[in-house]
């Protein structure tokens, strides 16, 4: 199959977003964000066997590749607009492309984010590079350097599921024997199908600081503290956990380290000013408070015990997850 045929067959979708003026078929795409809005841009490259297990279903790969980028947009409070996809393929496997394309389209439609351009090339290893665009009212983006002493620290969803899901996928002999099959499936799904917290990010534009949890709760909290010049106290008992994660911890309490240090949660970690009333629709759990009591970047438990940031996923460190 020629490249043009491949694109036409699997990736040629008419744009549905009125801000997308031209998508595909020319040298470049054209977007027209409305007046008063800035353009927000996130990019991530994913490689099979490194960012997702080789056994991952094609539609889940598509979902995740788009979701991790949209999670970055969510973390800025942006509304998705479109994305480009560069796809390095080891071979032209039509059954794989069919399922990948279907998954990508479902994800794109769900989040209102149009495919506006891309590139397909031969590559020895399956490689995806997505760049996603959104827009935000000028000056209201959620930034990691805008937290203040006294802000509450909050997270969306539950923390640590993806780190446990990775163990299910790659080291099944490390999973507690008594963990029910439904819990394993749930944790795998959390690894494969992260949910970008777009609505919560958009609701908090201009009212919060923060970022998304991609490297692990403690490491990403460290990033916010470093950028904002603060320290933090967190209440480990307040961290929201799924029932699957609770079952795992009942059998293996030490797994909490992996859950707080492991990446791929794609939940939002937000600093909320004291006066802000929390809307239950945002799905937030308060887990601590920011202060300037300790050295910049320091994280303490409520008891005062220092918490060392477990190193999250680092593609260039000696030990990867």
- Provide the binding-site residues for a second copy, judged by CB under 8 A: 1-6, 21-22, 25-33, 35, 38-47, 50-51, 71-73, 75-76, 78, 82, 84, 86-88, 92, 116-125, 127, 129, 131, 133-134, 136, 138, 141, 143-145, 211-212, 227, 314-317
Give the residue with the Cβ less far from a second copy, 8 or 302. 8
CB of 33 to a second copy, least distance (A): 7
Residues 6+ apart with CB under 8 A from 18: none
| Tokens of residue 121, six digits | 């090339």
Measured in whole angstroms, the distance separating CA 170 from the mean position of its chain's CA atoms is: 20
Q: Is 53 or 179 the residue whose CB approaches a second copy more closely?
A: 53
Q: Give the nearest distance from C-beta 262 to a second copy in angstroms.
A: 16
The least distance separating a second copy from the CB of residue 85, rounded to whole angstroms, comes to 8
In the bound complex, what is the minimum distance in angstroms from residue 315's beta carbon to a second copy?
A: 5
Compute the least distance from the CB of residue 308 to a second copy, in Å: 16
Cα→Cα distances 14→32, 79, 245, Å: 16, 19, 41
Return the number of the residue (16 or 138) whose C-beta is nearest a second copy. Answer: 138
> If you write DSSP's letter for every residue of 200-224 in order, what string do you get?
HHHHTTTT-EEEE-SS-HHHHHHHH
Distance (Å, whole) CA 111 – CA 68:
12
> Between 51 and 193, whose beta carbon lies closer to a second copy?
51
Tell me how far, at minimum, the Cβ of 303 lies from a second copy, in Å: 30
Question: Closer CB to a second copy, residue 22 or residue 57?
Answer: 22
Count how many Cα atoms sit within 13 Å of the Cα of residue 263 in the half-sphere of its side chain.
17
Q: Is the Cβ–Cβ distance between 133 and 72 less than 8 Å?
A: no
Residues 6+ apart with CB under 8 A from 116: 15, 20, 22, 23, 24, 29, 31, 82, 83, 84, 133
């Amino acid at each position: 199959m020629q490249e043009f045929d491949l694109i036409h067959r699997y990736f040629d979708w008419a744009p549905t977003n009125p801000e997308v003026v031209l998508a595909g078929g020319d040298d470049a795409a054209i977007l027209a964000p409305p007046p008063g809005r800035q353009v927000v841009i996130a990019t991530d490259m994913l490689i099979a066997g490194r960012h997702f297990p080789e056994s991952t279903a094609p539609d889940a790969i598509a979902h995740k590749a788009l979701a991790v980028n949209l999670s970055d947009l969510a973390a800025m409070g942006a509304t998705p607009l479109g994305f480009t996809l560069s796809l390095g393929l080891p071979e032209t496997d039509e059954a794989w492309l069919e399922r990948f394309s279907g998954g990508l389209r479902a994800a794109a439609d769900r989040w209102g984010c149009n495919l506006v351009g891309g590139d397909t090339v031969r590559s020895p290893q399956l490689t995806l590079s997505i760049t996603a665009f959104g827009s935000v009212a000028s000056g209201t983006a959620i930034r990691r350097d805008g937290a203040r002493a006294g802000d509450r620290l909050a997270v969306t969803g539950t923390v640590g599921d993806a780190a446990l899901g990775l163990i299910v996928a790659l080291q099944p002999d490390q999973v507690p024997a008594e963990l029910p099959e439904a819990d394993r499936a749930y944790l795998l799904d959390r690894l494969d199908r992260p949910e970008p917290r777009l609505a919560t990010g958009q609701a908090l534009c201009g009212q919060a600081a923060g970022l998304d949890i991609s490297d692990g709760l403690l490491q990403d909290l460290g990033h916010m503290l470093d950028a904002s010049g603060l320290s933090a106290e967190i209440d480990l008992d307040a961290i929201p956990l799924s029932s699957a994660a609770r079952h795992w911890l009942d059998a293996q309490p030490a797994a909490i380290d992996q859950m707080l240090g492991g990446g791929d949660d794609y939940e939002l970690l937000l600093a909320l000013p004291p006066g802000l009333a929390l809307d239950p629709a945002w799905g937030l759990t308060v887990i601590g408070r920011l202060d300037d009591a300790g050295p910049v970047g320091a994280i303490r438990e409520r008891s005062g015990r220092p918490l060392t940031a477990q190193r999250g996923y680092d593609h260039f460190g000696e030990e990867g997850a």
